[in-house]
Amino acid sequence: MTHVEILKKHNLKATPQRLSILNTLEMYGHVTLEEIEKYTKVNFPTLSLSTIYRNINEMIKKNVVSEVKITNSKDYFEINKEKHAHLICKECGKIEDFKIDTQDIVKNIQSLTNDKIIDATLNFEVICKECLSGK
């Protein structure tokens, strides 16, 4: 689905500002607010910070974008895709998506509590292969 289609599907007008924000998210995968500002302004110098805030919040509310919170670091944002976990390199800080079925984990864990587990947010601290190989 194109970004235009995604926006329309969620009753958001496909403005150039929104498209450029989504484009930045697409290109960089996981970005902080300042990074969105920095990278997006390269191609869209007149974009204002308040528009970024308004749109990120709006798109989060509509489930187009989601927030990735990582201990001891800033908040990141990503385009909403299939559910996945994150691998966060302790050394270089890179964040990678990690496609595992979180429901598998949920099933394994469910027997350990009386609460009904609905879903899981999983962040793994890693040393990524590049850092491991000393690159």
HSE (side-chain half, CA atoms, 13 Å) at 12: 25
Could you tell me the two tokens for 19? 């498209």
CB of 96 to DNA, least distance (A): 24
65 binds, among DNA, a second copy, none (CB under 5 to 8 A by kind): none
Residue 128 · residue 94 · CB < 8 Å: yes
Residue 9 corresponds to which amino acid? K
Residues 6 or more apart in contact with residue 116 via CB below 8 angstroms? 110
Q: What is the DSSP letter of 77?
A: E
Choose between 10 and 107: whose C-beta lies nearer to DNA. 10
Question: Which residues of this chain interact with a second copy, rule CB under 8 A?
Answer: 60, 66-72, 87, 89-90, 96, 98, 100, 105-106, 109, 112-129, 132
Please tell me the distance from the alpha carbon of residue 129 to that of residue 4, in angstroms, as a whole number: 35
* Residue 88 CA from chain centroid, whole number: 13
Partner from DNA, a second copy, none contacting 120, C-beta within 5 to 8 A by type: a second copy
Residue 115 near which of DNA, a second copy, none (CB within 5-8 Å, type-dependent): a second copy
Q: Smallest distance from the beta carbon of 27 to DNA, in angstroms?
A: 18
Q: What does the binding site for DNA look like in residue numbers (CB under 7 A)? A: 4, 7-8, 12-18, 33-34, 46-51, 53-55, 57
